[in-house]
Amino acid sequence: MKIRYIIIIIWAILVLAPLFLAWSHLHSISERSIFQVISDFNQRFQTKDSISYTFLVASLSTILTLIIGIPLAWNLGRYNWRYHNILRGIFTVPFVMPSILVAMGFLALLDWIDILIEHNHSSNIRFYSLLFAHAWFNLALVIRFCEPLLSTIDSSYEEACRLLPRGKTPKSRMINFWFPLMWPNIAASAALVFVFSFTSFALVKFITPSQRNLEVVMSNQAEWAGLDIPSLGRSPSEIVLASSTIQLITIVTALLLSSWLQSRSSGHHLSTMRDQRKPMSFFSKRGFYLIIMLFFIISPMIALITSSFTIRENNMMVFSLQGWEAAFGGSHSPTNVYQSLFSSIGYAFMTMLLSLPIGYFLSDTIFNLEKTNSKLAMLLDVLVMVPLALSAVMVGLGVLLGLIRTNPDLARSWWIPLYGHLMLTTPFVVRVLLPAMRNLNPQLEEAASLLGAGYIKRLISIRIKLLSPSLIVASSLVFAISIGEFGASWVVLRFTEFTTLPVMIGDLLSRPGYDPILRSAANAAGTILLLITLILFISVERFRPVGSGGDF
- What's the confidence (pLDDT) of residue 68? 94
Hey, is 153 helix, strand or coil?
Answer: strand
Q: Decide: 353 and 482 in contact? Cβ < 8 Å.
A: no
318 compared with 261, residue with greater pLDDT: 318
Asked whether residue 490 carries a pLDDT value surpassing 50, the answer given is yes
Domain boundaries, the chain: 1-31+332-518
What is the average per-residue pLDDT within 191-215? 88
Asked whether residue 521 carries a pLDDT value surpassing 80, the answer given is yes
Asked whether residue 65 carries a pLDDT value surpassing 90, the answer given is yes
- What's the confidence (pLDDT) of residue 506? 81
Architecture category of domain 1-31+332-518 in CATH: Orthogonal Bundle (1.10)
Handedness of CA 545, 440, 551, 93 (dihedral sign): negative
β-bridge mates for residue 318, sequence order: 311
Structure confidence at residue 550 as a pLDDT band (50, 70, 90): very low
Residues in the chain: 552
- What's the confidence (pLDDT) of residue 67? 94
End-to-end CA distance of the chain: 28
Q: Decide: 255 and 191 in contact? Cβ < 8 Å.
A: yes
Asked whether residue 436 carries a pLDDT value surpassing 60, the answer given is yes
Q: Decide: 395 and 424 in contact? Cβ < 8 Å.
A: yes
Structure confidence at residue 129 as a pLDDT band (50, 70, 90): very high
Largest CA distance in the chain: 78
Angle at CA of residue 197, ends 291 and 288, nearest 5°: 10
pLDDT in tens, 458-484: 767 777 788 888 888 888 888 888 888
pTM of the model: 0.82
- What's the confidence (pLDDT) of residue 251? 81
Across the chain, mean pLDDT equals 79
Asked whether residue 116 carries a pLDDT value surpassing 60, the answer given is yes
Burial per residue of 331-347, b for 16 or more beta-carbon CB atoms within 10 angstroms, e otherwise: ebbebbbebbbebbbbb
Asked whether residue 106 carries a pLDDT value surpassing 90, the answer given is yes
57 compared with 274, residue with greater pLDDT: 57
Asked whether residue 59 carries a pLDDT value surpassing 90, the answer given is yes
Distance of CA 191 to the CA centre of its chain: 14
Rounded CA-CA distance 204/213 in Å is: 7
CA distances from 86 to 15, 89, 144, 298, 546 (A): 36, 5, 15, 13, 13
- What's the confidence (pLDDT) of residue 273? 55
Distance of CA 214 to the CA centre of its chain: 17
The upper half-sphere exposure of residue 261, i.e. CA atoms within 13 Å in the direction of its Cβ, equals 22
Asked whether residue 233 carries a pLDDT value surpassing 90, the answer given is no
Rounded CA-CA distance 410/471 in Å is: 33
Question: Taking each helix axis from N to C terminus, what angle separates 123-152 and 285-307, rounded to the nearest 10 degrees?
Answer: 130
Rounded CA-CA distance 228/233 in Å is: 6
Q: Decide: 545 and 524 in contact? Cβ < 8 Å.
A: no
Residue 340's contacts (CB-CB under 8 Å, 6 or more residues apart) are: 499, 500, 501, 503, 504, 525
pLDDT in tens, 359-373: 888 888 888 887 787
CA distances from 73 to 110, 148, 451 (A): 27, 9, 46
Structure confidence at residue 183 as a pLDDT band (50, 70, 90): confident
- What's the confidence (pLDDT) of residue 544? 61
Q: What percent of the chain has pLDDT over 70?
A: 80
Rounded CA-CA distance 460/437 in Å is: 14
Rounded CA-CA distance 386/15 in Å is: 8
Structure confidence at residue 446 as a pLDDT band (50, 70, 90): low
pLDDT in tens, 292-305: 999 999 999 999 99
Rounded CA-CA distance 77/158 in Å is: 14
Structure confidence at residue 376 as a pLDDT band (50, 70, 90): confident
* String of DSSP letters for 38-87: HHTGGGSTTTTTHHHHHHHHHHHHHHHHHHHHHHHHHHHHHEEPTTHHHH
CA distances from 528 to 50, 301, 469 (A): 34, 11, 26
What is the average per-residue pLDDT within 334-345? 84
352 compared with 445, residue with greater pLDDT: 352
According to the per-residue pLDDT averaged within each range, which of 98-102, 441-445, 492-496 is highest?
98-102
90 compared with 204, residue with greater pLDDT: 204
User: Which among 129, 261, 143 has a CA at the least distance from the CA of 200?
Assistant: 129
Strands 316-319 and 310-313: antiparallel
Asked whether residue 548 carries a pLDDT value surpassing 60, the answer given is no
What is the average per-residue pLDDT within 102-131? 82
Rounded CA-CA distance 532/529 in Å is: 5
Rounded CA-CA distance 173/229 in Å is: 65
- What's the confidence (pLDDT) of residue 264? 59
Strands 79-80 and 278-279: parallel
What is the average per-residue pLDDT within 130-147? 90
Amino acid at the residue 86: I
User: Any long-range contacts for 66-69 (C-beta under 8 Å, 24+ apart)?
Assistant: 66/142, 66/186, 66/189, 66/190, 66/193, 68/135, 68/139, 68/293, 68/296, 69/135, 69/138, 69/139, 69/141, 69/142, 69/143, 69/146, 69/189
- What's the confidence (pLDDT) of residue 296? 93
User: Which among 493, 506, 500 has a CA at the least distance from the CA of 107?
Assistant: 506
β-bridge mates for residue 278, sequence order: 79
